[in-house]
Amino acid sequence: MIVAGLDVGAFTVLVGQDDAALKRVSWQAPGNVWKVAHGIPPETLADIKRNTGGVILTDLCDSVHPTRIPALMASLRAAGVPIVAATHNPYVLDCCDPSEVIVLHDGHAARLSEHPIARMGALSAGQLWTLDDEATWVPAAARKRTEGAGR
């Protein structure tokens, strides 16, 4: 699956202020769509593992206690199926590598690893995402990537 021109990996988290883009992604889902704001019950995790085509998870961990998020994220990774998750929770992002996070803003998309400060490696993905507004860097990163591909 491709989100705003970016290939989605085996585990991808979407964040940002572009609700329309997030809704479009849910319609392109390779499998079922689950809303998991309050965590994932064991029976739902079993369903996710059986859905080999992949899943979209919306509102990932928005109401889960921060101390439980790392274990939940580990169980999702262990599911062994392609997962695309949408969240606005920086604790979820802290369980991710910046290259696994796609930031959507006003019709543009960039991997969090394209953030100008990401190269320094001093911040977690959650810290990096909350550092500044997406409008300050996502459109520029998307243009730079597009221009680089055209060469």
Record the pTM: 0.81
Give the range with max mean pLDDT: 33-47, 77-91, 129-143.
Answer: 129-143
Output the pLDDT for position 32: 61
Summarised one tens digit per residue, pLDDT across range 69-98 is 898 888 888 887 788 888 889 999 999 999
DSSP E strands: which ranges in the chain?
A: 2-3, 6-7, 11-16, 33-35, 55-58, 83-86, 101-105, 108-111
> Is the pLDDT at 37 greater than 60, yes or no?
no
Which H helix or E strand runs over 21?
helix 19-27
Instruction: Pick the range with the lowest mean pLDDT from 23-32, 41-50, 112-121, 133-142.
Output: 23-32
The answer for residues whose C-beta is within 8 angstroms of residue 68's C-beta and 6 or more apart is 39
